[in-house]
Structure 1
């Protein structure tokens, strides 16, 4: 191989590794961001509703909801969702985040 071919190959390898590193950083940032949002919602709900009877009664329904990836929605869980959203109207959490928070109690 000539010197120019070796230089070209080295340049291509450098560019490819930079692209992979950038892709890894973006993916990592997205995963960390979603985990942080879930953790924030979980801690907000779990600290303020730890002794709430309606929320605690929904633990089994929450477990079914999480295990079924949202397909099973029990009556007690729906009641707990409504109760939580009424008590904390500024809370921006999805149903999955709330169910995980209920399980964390």
Structure 2
């Protein structure tokens, strides 16, 4: 999957998650922050390969449960993927929810 497609998908997921915000401006700012974090992460040459990593791909079901439960359900595979991503990209400033949404977008 191309990097731009992943960034676009992450933005769409972020937008849908933030759609219930009381202000459109607040929503667009939140989506912008998600896109900036994802663009920074995926722009790095080592970060762009995490989408093909088995640990990350195996976490998609757990990521869906995490997002769907608003962060209440944290599966073992998601925890492993979050740890892997944070180890590979320690400079990444993204929440667990943002990373879970990005995993779903892969």
State TM-score, norm by structure 2: 0.67
What is the CA-CA distance between 1:29 and the residue it aligns to?
3.2
Q: Distance in 1 between matches of 2:26 and 2:85?
A: 27
In the other structure, the counterpart of 1:50 is: 51
Q: Distance in 2 between matches of 1:48 and 1:74?
A: 23
Q: Deviations over 1:21-51 (max 9, x none)?
A: xxxxxx4432211111122334435844111
In the other structure, the counterpart of 1:101 is: 102
Q: Which consecutive residues of structure 1, in runs of 5 or more, have no partner in the other structure?
A: 1-26
In the other structure, the counterpart of 2:34 is: 38
What is the CA-CA distance between 1:80 and the residue it aligns to?
0.5
State TM-score, norm by structure 1: 0.67
Between structures 1 and 2, the one with greater helix share:
1
Q: Does structure 2 conserve the Cα–Cα contact (< 8 Å) formed by 1:41 and 1:98?
A: no
Aligned alpha-carbon RMSD (Å) = 1.7
Structure (1 or 2) with the larger CA radius of gyration: 1
Query: Within 5 Å, which residues of 2 pair with 1:55-94?
Result: 55-94=56-95
After TM superposition, the runs of 4+ consecutive aligned structure 1 residues lying more than 6 A away are none
